[in-house]
Structure 1
Amino acid sequence: MLRSAIKLHKIGVKFISTNPSKRTTESISISKRDDYYKNLGDSGEKNDLKPPGWDEALPYESIPGPKPLPLIGNMWRFMPYIGEFSDMPQTDMYQILKNKYGNIVSLKGIPGRNPVAILFDVNDMEIALRNEGPFPLRTVAESVTYYRLEIRKDVFGGVGGLASVQGEEWFKIRSVVNPILMQPRTIQQYVGSMDKVAHELVDNIRYFSKQNENNEMPDDFQGELYKWALESVGLVALDRHLGCLHLNAPKDSEPQQFISKVNDMFVLMYQLDFLPPIWKFISTPALKRYVKILDYITDTTLKYIEESLNRSIAENIPDDQLSVTQRLAKIDKRIAVATGMDMLIAGIDTTGKTLATLLYFLAKNPDKQQCLREELLKNLPKKNSPVTKEVLNKSPYLKAAIKESSRIAPTAIGNLRTTVKDLVLAGYQIPKGTDVMTMHLLSSNSDEIFKDAAKFIPERWLRATEDQYSTKNVHSFAYMPFGFGPRSCVGKRLANLELEVATARIIRNFELSWPHEDMTFSGNLLYGITKPLKLRVKEL
């Protein structure tokens, strides 16, 4: 969630001069440099070493970037009405930024925030991410940390969750969570539950298609995908059917309120954590609303978790059938609460937006949709044939379509890290403790890296593809939808499973089309579609 929070860096550019960021370290012995970065490392024992080329590199202060104005710094550049890039799609904005300043840009002059070096070159991205150490440091949502560790100690007991802590504390939590959320065999146990939710979503799509003569989804269909996402993660995290997709559910139902509160939370989180942090000095109206919203989310989630834990005891559920929070609670209840809440919060917008993007691209590209359907017809001979792990294992085009959609419009468009050692990036000295951001949105949409990058071509990701479109020829750090290394997204296997099951079920039942102008994409914390997802569907 947090690594996508980078609209903060939507900045304007007015000063054009010679471009020192084109400076490289090619004159340095490649082998010496590679040996340095390979051996640096992970224990931190050699963090005081200077990398090859350090003395020849330009100082950090000379990295080009927009000049801050007195008092307001660079904040004005992405503010509504006055900001020169406030309404521009992020792909266009970052491309202009890269074109004017080069492969590295320094953003400074944001009150209450550290300067950040934005990286556009995939080789620099690789160096930065491969040298993050065993306890990667990244900017956390300070507002969440403050809420969990200060305001609601009664619930979290000093355990803020993976997104809220750093260092060894983060590592201890991750070590508990990884065996449950990162093991394929564990996650695959939930395929049946996911399929039940996907059936509900298909039933709703069928209902909506009959409500107008064009068989189109309603303007608020994106909200239906949020409900699907919450229902799916609720079954996995809590072993609870929340009833999110009930068509007759009132608009003020608890699941709908939960989704609305999460959406409001993200809006306020952007204001609190990525604009000047006035709330740190005075209790602002935004902070008060934020606390009230988080109280609702926390209390509701805690109620769900307590019910789930009591049910596991009363019914003596076998270990291999326990939900994620039930399993975690047997190790540490505080971690179970924090992780369960993170799953519910992070699993709504992220997965919901990703499915919306994928369905759009499939509707927009009927030939690719047909390729996927032909694969599914073989594996799901009947429309209601169960989706199983065996079916998914025999569906490479399904997985390729998900990857291709996330390449063009990734929900998380970059990774933010704090360096744990001195590095040389783009010919500049990057001292230990510097914030750096790897801008994968541009690299994954670059024609120099992906041939015909704007085109939706799932075949890129198939093992059988050997031509110029094959991703075998692409730098491995050009595409990072779930991050990299120890701090990559802990829910990536769960998210992919949800997407695979739902997409298989939808495409097997419907033919999708898009008789509208092209979709646009943007976002503050999360990147996604910006117009109503009015898919036209035809029953198969």
Structure 2
Amino acid sequence: MAGKNNILSRKSVWYQCRSYVSTQPFKKAVAAQQVTVNGINTKDIYYKKIGNKLENDDKPAGWNEAKPFSMIPGPKPIPILGNIWRFFPGIGEYHNLGIVDLHKKITETYGEIAYFSGIFGKKPMVFCYNPDAMETISRNEGAWPVRYGMNAFVYYQKNIRKDVFQGIGGVLSTQGEEWFKIRSAVNKILMQPRTAEIADPDNLMPSDFQNELFKWTMESMAVIAYNKRIGVLDRNLDVNSKQQQFINSVLTMFDMSYKMDVLPSLWPYISTRNWRKFVNIMDTLTELNQKFIKECLESINPDSNIPDHERSVLERLLKTDRRIAITMTNDMLIAGIDTTGKTMASALYFLAKNPEKQEKLRQELKTYLPNKESVVNQDMIRASPYLKAVIKETTRLAPIAIGNLRSTVKDLVLSGYQIPKDTEVVSINILSSIDDKYFLKAQEFVPERWLRTTADEFSHKNVHPFASVPFGFGPRSCIGKRLANLELEVGLAKMIRNFQISWPHADAKFGATLLYGIQSPLRFKVVEVDN
């Protein structure tokens, strides 16, 4: 009986046809048609035609007109050395290039899409520089997006320290259904969180001011994860304290991950020096975090009447799965220090270099923070559009991740080329986010472009929505986005409300290994405002 509920989608029909091809009735029907003509088995032809028809029906629009995958431009590998020689001193065109400059070089040479292979120990990848292609990738990643990477981190959790993580990876390291289960368990909790003395006589911050920002982000993340202060901001914190050891270990871990998972490395095959150093660092992080967790668990009162939304992330996740709780709070502390700390440094730098923007933000903040002791709260943040615009503009100019990696879950057409399923593709967002083709005066710090009230050519409404995607897109976007923005909003509000910040030096240098940010010492000049 025909009816609305009996109409099958094209995809459903495809799967049913595919399933029917393997059944005995179908095979018998084909066998009855089988003859041999000039030595050619018609049964094989019949199967091939049916198979091709089913496959073609599942191809994306424009597939037949697109150029084959083999024609994607890119540096050609040579026998034995592949493309690794291009990074050699003296002869290599990519020698000593930072990762952003490397991608600028690739796109200048090959255009908006490039195929890169021939790097020992690394999978071939397709680099995409066009926002249209980035949108196609993002909108076709399925319900369970696949993103490989951080391989050393994954291997450590799942193989070296099974005693702690018990086979459970975090949202960074898992794929498919396992990732979906973990993400679902933590998503609601993490996406809806509750909410001048170190300067020298010239009011210049010390060269290690970046470390002070790392301390602040670690303490903030600990309060969210464990609902307790862990003493990172103590004025007399010893350089050998467990808190400082944790920060140092996080920075080293990211550096080692870059050397092993981005640069050519033999660690998947033999125990290299970097791998052994990485394991030692991860052991330090794991043991320190276990101490923090133990202290938190000892302070939990199961009989208290505290509302659930006011409890720590650890306590709330324990009700779901203890293994997930341990793994996720571990990942939160590791992932939240360097990332948010670098973004805060970038925001302060851009405001210091643009004093008129800084003053505009300060005047907005004074409306809701009339004096220096005023408390930053949720209502104040909601009513501060320029504060949010400053953060958005910061992450456009200095996104912590320069791109997003995906493994395609279906055939795609990108920039006019056929991209088969299971291809590693990387959207290099940082280049489009600073390209005048997509943003007016793209190299300038203009927070106004993100305000709803901006109706001129600067408005982000006139920009491709995928030209700047600092936190990713879709189900696998950054799960810590809300936490990071909350930290940045509170931190910037307090800093800019109370201090005038300037940069009396040459322009700072930005760069990236695994994460992008300022590489110059943060020697800000900080002067307290009068009122």
- Counterpart of 1:481 (choices 449, 458, 470) is 470
Give the Å deviation of 1:241: 1.0
CA distance in 1 between partners of 2:470 and 2:305 (Å): 35
397-406 or 261-270, larger mean C-alpha shift: 261-270
Aligned match of 2:106: 97
Matches within 5 A, 1:244-263: 244-263=232-251
Aligned match of 1:24: none
Q: Give the secondary-structure state (helix, strand or coil) at the position aligned to 2:115.
A: strand
- Counterpart of 2:130 (choices 114, 121, 124) is 121
For this pair of structures, how many residues does the alignment match? Answer: 481
Give the Å deviation of 1:272: 2.0
CA distance in 2 between partners of 1:227 and 1:539 (Å): 21
- Counterpart of 2:499 (choices 510, 524, 528) is 510
Q: Give the secondary-structure state (helix, strand or coil) at the position aligned to 2:144.
A: coil
**Is 1:322 equivalent to 2:311 in the alignment?**
yes
Change (3 A) 1:44 1:219: farther
Structure ID, larger Rg: 2
CA distance in 2 between partners of 1:44 and 1:456 (Å): 51
Change (3 A) 1:86 1:313: farther
Give the Å deviation of 1:113: 1.8
Give the TM-score normalised by structure 2: 0.87
Structure 2: runs of 5 or more not aligned:
1-8, 19-53
Change (3 A) 1:338 1:373: same
CA distance in 2 between partners of 1:395 and 1:455 (Å): 22
Structure 1: runs of 5 or more not aligned:
1-37, 191-205
CA contact (8 A) 1:228 1:245 kept: yes
CA contact (8 A) 2:100 2:512 kept: no
Give the TM-score normalised by structure 1: 0.86
Q: Give the secondary-structure state (helix, strand or coil) at the position aligned to 1:353.
A: helix
CA contact (8 A) 1:140 1:165 kept: no
Aligned match of 1:203: none
**Is 1:534 equivalent to 2:523 in the alignment?**
yes
Aligned match of 2:231: 243
Aligned match of 1:8: none
CA contact (8 A) 2:99 2:513 kept: no
CA distance in 1 between partners of 2:288 and 2:88 (Å): 34
- State percent identity of aligned pairs: 51
Aligned match of 1:291: 279
CA contact (8 A) 2:227 2:312 kept: yes
CA distance in 1 between partners of 2:258 and 2:10 (Å): 38
Q: Give the secondary-structure state (helix, strand or coil) at the position aligned to 2:197.
A: helix
Q: CA RMSD in A?
A: 2.0
Change (3 A) 1:108 1:388: same
**Is 1:138 equivalent to 2:147 in the alignment?**
yes
CA deviation map 1:110-157 (0-9, x unaligned): 112221111111111100110000000111322122111111111111
Q: Give the secondary-structure state (helix, strand or coil) at the position aligned to 2:489.
A: helix
CA distance in 1 between partners of 2:443 and 2:214 (Å): 26
Q: Give the secondary-structure state (helix, strand or coil) at the position aligned to 1:138.
A: coil
CA distance in 2 between partners of 1:504 and 1:251 (Å): 28
**Is 1:55 equivalent to 2:64 in the alignment?**
yes
Counterpart amino acid of residue 481 in structure 1: P
CA distance in 2 between partners of 1:315 and 1:111 (Å): 56
CA contact (8 A) 1:312 1:322 kept: no
CA contact (8 A) 1:401 1:458 kept: yes
CA distance in 2 between partners of 1:504 and 1:166 (Å): 37
Aligned match of 2:215: 227
- Counterpart of 2:204 (choices 207, 213, 216) is 216
Change (3 A) 1:283 1:57: same
CA distance in 1 between partners of 2:61 and 2:450 (Å): 36
Change (3 A) 1:415 1:79: farther
Give the Å deviation of 1:487: 0.4
CA distance in 1 between partners of 2:197 and 2:78 (Å): 55
CA deviation map 1:26-77 (0-9, x unaligned): xxxxxxxxxxxx9879x99999511122122111111111122332322343
CA distance in 1 between partners of 2:309 and 2:340 (Å): 25
CA distance in 2 between partners of 1:424 and 1:287 (Å): 38
**Is 1:365 equivalent to 2:365 in the alignment?**
no
CA deviation map 1:304-339 (0-9, x unaligned): 112212311367362232111111011101001111
CA distance in 2 between partners of 1:102 and 1:90 (Å): 17
Matches within 5 A, 1:437-476: 437-476=426-465
Change (3 A) 1:208 1:292: same
Give the Å deviation of 1:263: 0.8
CA distance in 2 between partners of 1:274 and 1:39 (Å): 40
Aligned match of 1:159: 168
- Counterpart of 1:168 (choices 162, 167, 177) is 177
Q: Which has the higher contact order (CA 8 A, sep 6+)?
A: 1
